[in-house]
Amino acid sequence: MFRKKSSQLIFIGICLVQMSFAQESLIQFTPDYVAQHVKTKNASAVLKEDKSLQIHMGKDNPLVILAADKGSWDLSNNTSVAFEVSNIGTEPTMVNCHIDGHLWSEDVLILNPGESGLLRVLLKGNMLDANHPLMLYYTGMNGLPGGYLKHWVPLKAKQVKKLELSLVNPKTGADITIKNVVKEGSLAAKTYEELVASASPFVDKYGQFIFKEWPGKIHSDKEFKKIAKKEKADLNAYPGPKDRNQYGGWTQGPQLEATGHFRVEKLQGKWWLVDPEGRLFWSHGITGVAKGAAITQVKGRKHYFAELPEANTNYYQFGQNKKGSIIKYNFTAANLYRKYGKNWEKESK
């Protein structure tokens, strides 16, 4: 594996860390509901005494549709849909759920035989009204406290007609049960006036959400130094393969033309990723990590932030300034400076 330094970046994780999972029943499995609103293709569904739905899926493109009993559900003020799944079969399975066929509002759950779990599907692309309290208070954000997730593909959340269940790359069929189908979250929990009075500041000096704790959250500058020390020990203990170049390319493999750019090329009948030096490489992992990954707008939103650096301090250099005021701030670079010191650009590569 090609190893690089872990940048240990701190982002403004607004959209997921404060998801309030207030729950309300979405589907009640009754004989009438199953008879009228459950549709199957290469699958079957049977109501059990405990009000769960037992489903058998074949291996060839099975599909189970759970339709809205009144034509549609209004999920415009919700953040997700969830339900319990149990694998009662003899083979591992990967269950997929789409909301109304929306490409991005889907998720999967992998279960071994005998295992149970919660399949939660986040609502993405819900187009909130411009006068919604969240839209009035929070500006320029793709994710909002409470679990709202903006997306370029809109979802008609006011008129969701169905949930679609299927299997991912099945080699065999599957036998599962599902129960307790609920809608979650409440985007209308607070009025605009309540948000003004209580919501800010909600971003700390490291670019983190204030009102939530999670493993790895930073609370002091000293913690960055501890992380850097631990990272160095890990890199020394596990340096990665020696036959890799700066891009992760395989130096002992075929040498193709060094174009100075990443590209794809067909070699011996197979397509490969090729690095700028003409070496084959395998890309697997996080993409888009950069020192400017968490630049955020300050202008017009200064009240969001608990602490911004004063002029003539080391961290003021990471702000984009206009007439002496910070209009944008680069939390990524500032945190890398805290971690590595003055040579942060070199040390963080």
Write the DSSP symbol of residue 283.
Answer: -
Please state, in angstroms and rounded to a whole number, the distance separating the CA atoms of residues 338 and 225: 8
pLDDT surpasses 80 at 216: yes
pLDDT surpasses 80 at 29: yes
pLDDT surpasses 50 at 7: no
* DSSP result, 166-193: EESS-SS-EEEEEEEEEEE--TTSS-HH
Residue 22: band (very low, low, confident or very high) from pLDDT cuts 50, 70, 90: confident
| CA torsion through residues 31, 35, 40, 43, sign | positive
- Residue 305: φ, ψ to 5°: -105, 130
CA distances from 136 to 139, 144, 161, 196 (A): 7, 12, 29, 10
Residue 223: band (very low, low, confident or very high) from pLDDT cuts 50, 70, 90: very high
Read off the pTM. 0.71
pLDDT surpasses 80 at 286: no
Chain centroid offset of residue 84 CA:
21
**What dihedral do alpha carbons 19, 24, 27, 30 form, nearest 10°?**
150
Predicted pLDDT of residue 2:
39
pLDDT surpasses 80 at 8: no
Other beta carbons less than 10 A from residue 157's beta carbon:
23
Least confident of 19-28, 38-47, 63-72, 201-210: 19-28
154: preceding bond cis by omega (within 30 degrees): no
Quickly tell me which residue has 């993409």 as its tokens: 287
Please state, in angstroms and rounded to a whole number, the distance separating the CA atoms of residues 118 and 312: 51
Residue 157: band (very low, low, confident or very high) from pLDDT cuts 50, 70, 90: very high
Predicted pLDDT of residue 19:
43
Least confident of 3-17, 96-110, 291-305: 3-17
Please state, in angstroms and rounded to a whole number, the distance separating the CA atoms of residues 257 and 158: 54
**Which of the listed CATH numbers 3.40.50.1100, 2.30.30.40, 3.30.450.30, 2.60.120.430 matches domain 21-188?**
2.60.120.430
Domain boundaries of the chain, sorted by first residue: 21-188, 221-347
Of residues 173 and 285, more confidence is placed in 173
Please state, in angstroms and rounded to a whole number, the distance separating the CA atoms of residues 162 and 98: 9
pLDDT surpasses 60 at 17: no
